[in-house]
């Protein structure tokens, strides 16, 4: 309301309140309501006495002066001066003001009684004096005031006896009348004073209790607000109609609404379809005074859907009715994502263990198919009709070996990252590869385009696995476009110095980003979190592959400490972005073809330790062809016994043997008899902690099965030369 809209009465009340604030001490306003009103009454009396007093004082002083009533003149003057002092002084306590007021009333009353007796208003002032004490200080002090009044009335009676007052001399039987008046006055004065004092005392006690209760309630309210505000989780208070009454800062931080935006209203953040269910749940539970706990979803102000752990408790009113509902809403969206990733990781780990075991056994089976064709081809004449079939056997074995590599990638045990590669070169190599040609035969309406950054940084990576990653992503894109379309393969450099929206935990540094985009059918929200699971596919298994393609992509990215971001829209297409840590190291020159003469042996003695007969045989045959003297044993224990009485220029140790001690422990025992013994570690798995321990003891390089002439020949030659 504006100032000029106020009525005169409102303006007067406003002005009067300002006067009260100015003259009444500040500490009074924090006390109970009764005490505040007592102070207001005292202020009113003294203010009115100060303002109106001169209208009675001036005529009284003039009259007293003319009549030479100097006692009245002095008394009136002192009373008014005392009123001014009490009004303007802030050092006088309330109790002192009350007794001063009593003294003023008493002085005026006694003076009038002495001077005018029956004919004055002195007894009214005395009556008022006791009421002042009764209402301002209490019954105990009022009793003292009554006693003073009684003594004053007796004193006046004594003056009547000795004949001092002039009015008594003019009155017949003045003493008798005075006694009657005294008895009646004291009776009424006592009765009214006791009644007022008792009534006001009860009122004061009641108001103090109420004031204390209000303060305690206010403190509890502030405590509750502090608790709600201090909570890291969003907390809301609803009324019985499900309208918002309060929520804390955490709610604003999570959901975006300010309290003044939705106070007294329903927050529009419950997903469609859940509202009736939730209200029904609330009503059925709150009436029973039960605490509810369940998981649900809520929208933010920006329409972002969050996973919420909701806890709700009712506030029951005095009549047993539902007064309010207090709700705790914990945002568990990140927890859900972490839980999902953990489940995914455990699932991948379990499948990886299985795949690793299968790959290890397949490596043992494939050793003969990979190794023997080279031995046979060395023995065949150039024009032999068997040469082509043997070469086909070798190619098939190599393809089977590539499948084993996929299984090892799935197990995250098969990637040895040592090469410096360039993604652009690998992409161009894929586009020109037989694998790409085969994909185009299945999907003739697919067009592959590329958008490659010219100065793309290199990566320390496995070129073979990056090639397979690109191949699997392209095959996946082609399958999504049954009616044809464009697949765009692009690369770019990017320096990342802070988390990005899609990948919050990405580390700072240089990255090369491989992007594969299609304009196919897209991936639904339900499927997008499952596409990297093994065998989770909606493709034709026989036509599209084994169902491991996207899982291999996931495993390769993980092994290269990279990150994947998938963006997809139904009926518009999908983009896979793979982030690989970049390096500024230069590419190495291509390796030249090495002649077999460069890794032929010179009858050096070699001991093969392997628990699989086929592995011992193929290694024996290859090394014998390479002009080495070869012996073999089937276990670590036999190897130790052999080396106690024999020597070997080099030991080839299988790391994992099903029976007895493994390769590391075997080597550890052998070097007790032959310190510095040269050795090579082999396995169907990639290197692990046991391999690294053996190497720390003095063992040489690690060879991954299956064996080939060049692989085993070069490593043996290198180990013997060291």
Look at residue 314 and give its three-state secondary structure. Answer: strand
Bridge partner list, 565: 577
pLDDT band (50, 70, 90) for residue 686 = low
Let me know how long the chain is. Answer: 722
For range 715-721, the mean pLDDT: 89
| Residues 404 and 366: beta-carbon distance below 8 Å | yes
Instruction: For helices 174-230 and 122-136, give the axis angle rounded to 10 degrees.
Output: 30
**How far apart, in whole angstroms, are the C-alpha atoms of residue 671 and residue 681?**
15
**How far apart, in whole angstroms, are the C-alpha atoms of residue 59 and residue 40?**
29
**How far apart, in whole angstroms, are the C-alpha atoms of residue 343 and residue 565?**
19
**How far apart, in whole angstroms, are the C-alpha atoms of residue 548 and residue 540?**
13
The bridge status of strand 679-683 relative to strand 702-704 is: parallel
**How far apart, in whole angstroms, are the C-alpha atoms of residue 614 and residue 366?**
9
Look at residue 323 and give its three-state secondary structure. Answer: strand
pLDDT per residue as tens digits for the range 620-662:
888 898 899 999 999 989 989 999 999 999 999 988 887 889 8
Return the exposure string of 233-250: e unless at least 16 CB atoms fall within 10 Å of the residue's CB, then b. Answer: bbbbbbeeeeebebbbbb
Closest-CA residue to 480 (of 451, 452, 449, 439): 439
pLDDT per residue as tens digits for the range 436-449:
988 888 888 999 99
For range 98-124, the mean pLDDT: 81
| Residues 135 and 197: beta-carbon distance below 8 Å | yes
For range 236-240, the mean pLDDT: 84
Instruction: For helices 663-673 and 689-697, give the axis angle rounded to 10 degrees.
Output: 10
pLDDT band (50, 70, 90) for residue 526 = confident
Cβ count within 10 A of residue 598: 10
Most confident region among 302-316, 332-346, 634-648 by mean pLDDT: 634-648
pLDDT per residue as tens digits for the range 549-565:
787 888 888 888 888 88
| Residues 231 and 250: beta-carbon distance below 8 Å | yes
**Percent of the chain surpassing pLDDT 70:** 85
Q: What is the pLDDT of residue 167?
A: 80
Which residues, at least 6 apart from 364, have a Cβ–Cβ distance to it below 8 Å? 612, 614, 615, 684, 705
pLDDT at 376 over 50: yes
CA 229 to mean position of chain CA atoms: 15
Better pLDDT: 706 or 174? 174
Q: What is the pLDDT of residue 2?
A: 45
Which residues, at least 6 apart from 379, have a Cβ–Cβ distance to it below 8 Å? none
Cis peptide before 345, with omega less than 30 degrees from 0?
no
pLDDT at 579 over 90: yes
Q: What is the pLDDT of residue 600?
A: 87
pLDDT band (50, 70, 90) for residue 212 = confident
**E strands within 626-697?**
629-633, 650-654, 679-683
Q: What is the pLDDT of residue 399?
A: 65
pLDDT at 290 over 60: yes
Look at residue 581 and give its three-state secondary structure. Answer: strand
For range 473-485, the mean pLDDT: 88
- Whether this prediction's pTM lies above 0.75 is answered by no
Look at residue 520 and give its three-state secondary structure. Answer: coil
Dihedral class, residue 603 (left if φ above 0, else alpha if ψ from -120 to 50, else beta): left
- State the average pLDDT for the chain: 81
Q: What is the dihedral of CA 640, 642, 643, 644, to 10 degrees?
A: 90
Q: What is the pLDDT of residue 542?
A: 44
Closest-CA residue to 687 (of 674, 709, 670, 704): 704
Task: Give, as one character, the DSSP assignment of residue 170.
Answer: T
For range 15-24, the mean pLDDT: 80
pLDDT band (50, 70, 90) for residue 295 = confident
pLDDT at 1 over 60: no
pLDDT at 592 over 90: no
Most confident region among 214-223, 416-425, 431-440 by mean pLDDT: 431-440
For range 527-546, the mean pLDDT: 61
**E strands within 180-321?**
235-239, 244-247, 292-299, 305-316
Residue reference for tokens 């290269």: 560
Most confident region among 90-104, 204-218, 416-430, 510-524 by mean pLDDT: 510-524
pLDDT band (50, 70, 90) for residue 277 = low
Radius of gyration in angstroms for the set of CA atoms belonging to the chain, rounded to a whole number: 52
Q: Side-chain half-sphere of 298: how many Cα atoms within 13 Å? A: 22
Q: What is the pLDDT of residue 90?
A: 75
Q: What is the pLDDT of residue 693?
A: 87
pLDDT band (50, 70, 90) for residue 516 = very high
| Least confident among 291-305, 411-425, 445-459, 608-622 | 411-425
Which residues, at least 6 apart from 199, have a Cβ–Cβ distance to it below 8 Å? none
Residue reference for tokens 């490659």: 452
Better pLDDT: 211 or 356? 211
Q: What is the pLDDT of residue 442?
A: 87
pLDDT per residue as tens digits for the range 658-685:
788 988 899 999 999 999 999 998 876 6
**Residue 460: its H or E element:** strand 459-461
| Residues 121 and 129: beta-carbon distance below 8 Å | no
- The backbone torsions φ and ψ at residue 680, rounded to the nearest 5 degrees and listed phi first, read -120, 140
pLDDT band (50, 70, 90) for residue 541 = very low
For the record, the structure tokens of 338 come out as: 């972490």
Task: Give, as one character, the DSSP assignment of residue 607.
Answer: E
CA 238 to mean position of chain CA atoms: 23
Residue reference for tokens 């006067």: 19
pLDDT band (50, 70, 90) for residue 7 = confident
pLDDT band (50, 70, 90) for residue 515 = very high
| Residue 82 burial (C-beta neighbours within 10 Å; 0-12, 13-18, 19+) | middle
Better pLDDT: 6 or 35? 35
pLDDT at 537 over 70: no
């Amino acid at each position: 309301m504006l100032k000029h809209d106020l009525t005169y009465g409102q303006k007067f009340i406003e002005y009067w309140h300002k006067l009260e604030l100015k003259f009444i001490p500040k500490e009074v306003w924090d006390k109970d309501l009764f005490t505040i009103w007592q102070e207001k009454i005292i202020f009113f009396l003294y203010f009115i006495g100060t303002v109106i007093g001169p209208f009675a004082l001036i005529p009284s002083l003039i009259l007293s002066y003319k009549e030479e009533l100097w006692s009245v003149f002095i008394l009136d003057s002192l009373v008014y001066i005392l009123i001014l002092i009490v009004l303007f002084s802030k050092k006088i306590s309330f109790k002192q003001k009350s007794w001063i007021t009593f003294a003023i009333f008493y002085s005026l009353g006694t003076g009038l009684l002495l001077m005018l007796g029956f004919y004055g208003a002195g007894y009214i002032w005395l009556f008022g004096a006791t009421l002042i004490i009764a209402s301002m200080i209490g019954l105990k002090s009022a009793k003292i005031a009554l006693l003073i009044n009684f003594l004053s009335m007796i004193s006046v009676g004594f003056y009547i006896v000795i004949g001092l007052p002039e009015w008594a001399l003019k009155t017949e039987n003045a003493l008798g009348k005075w006694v009657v008046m005294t008895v009646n006055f004291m009776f009424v004065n006592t009765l009214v004073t006791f009644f007022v004092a008792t009534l006001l005392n009860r009122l004061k006690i009641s108001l103090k209790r109420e004031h204390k209760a209000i303060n305690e309630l206010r403190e509890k309210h502030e405590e509750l607000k502090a608790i709600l505000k201090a909570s890291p989780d969003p907390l809301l208070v609803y009324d019985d109609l499900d309208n918002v009454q309060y929520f804390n800062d955490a709610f604003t931080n999570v959901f975006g609404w300010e309290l003044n935006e939705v106070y007294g209203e329903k927050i529009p953040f419950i997903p469609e379809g859940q509202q009736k269910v939730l209200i029904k749940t609330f009503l059925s539970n709150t009436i029973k005074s039960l605490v509810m706990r369940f998981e649900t979803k809520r929208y933010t102000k920006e329409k972002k859907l969050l996973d919420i752990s909701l806890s709700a408790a009712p506030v029951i009113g005095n009549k047993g009715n539902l007064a309010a509902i207090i709700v705790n809403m914990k945002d568990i969206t990140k927890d859900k994502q972490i839980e999902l990733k953990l489940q995914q990781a455990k699932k991948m780990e379990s499948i990886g263990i299985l795949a690793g075991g299968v790959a290890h056994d397949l490596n043992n089976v494939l050793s003969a198919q990979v190794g023997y064709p080279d031995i046979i081809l060395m023995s065949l004449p150039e024009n032999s009709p068997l040469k082509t079939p043997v070469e086909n056997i070798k190619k098939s074995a190599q393809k089977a070996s590539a499948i084993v590599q996929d299984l090892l990638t799935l197990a995250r045990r098969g990637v040895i990252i040592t090469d410096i590669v360039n993604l652009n070169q690998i992409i161009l190599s894929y586009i020109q590869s037989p694998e790409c040609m085969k994909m185009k035969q299945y999907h003739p309406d697919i067009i592959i385009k590329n958008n490659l950054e010219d100065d793309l940084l290199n990566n320390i990576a496995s070129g073979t696995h990056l090639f397979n990653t690109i191949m699997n992503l392209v095959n996946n894109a082609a399958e999504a476009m049954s009616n044809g379309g464009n697949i765009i393969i692009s690369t770019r450099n990017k320096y990342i110095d802070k988390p990005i929206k899609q990948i919050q935990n990405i580390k700072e540094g240089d990255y090369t980003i491989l992007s594969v985009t299609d304009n196919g059918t897209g991936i639904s929200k339900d499927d997008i979190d499952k596409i990297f699971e093994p065998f989770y596919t909606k493709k034709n298994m026989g036509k599209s592959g084994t169902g491991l393609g996207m899982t291999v992509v996931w495993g390769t990215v993980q092994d290269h400490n990279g990150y994947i971001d998938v963006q997809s829209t139904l009926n518009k297409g999908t983009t896979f972005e793979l982030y690989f840590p970049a390096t500024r190291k230069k590419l190495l020159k291509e390796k030249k073809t090495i002649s077999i003469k460069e890794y032929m042996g010179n009858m050096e003695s070699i001991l093969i330790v392997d628990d699989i007969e086929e592995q011992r045989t193929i290694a024996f045959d290859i090394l014998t062809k390479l002009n080495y003297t070869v012996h073999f044993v089937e276990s670590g224990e036999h190897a130790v016994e052999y080396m106690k009485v024999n020597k070997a220029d080099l030991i080839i140790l299988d790391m994992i043997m099903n029976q007895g001690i493994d390769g590391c422990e075997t080597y550890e025992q052998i070097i007790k008899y032959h310190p510095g013994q040269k050795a090579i570690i082999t396995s169907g798995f990639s290197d692990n902690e046991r391999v690294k321990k053996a190497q720390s003891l003095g063992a040489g390089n690690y060879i991954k099965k299956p064996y080939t002439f060049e692989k085993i020949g070069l490593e043996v030659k290198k180990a013997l030369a060291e």
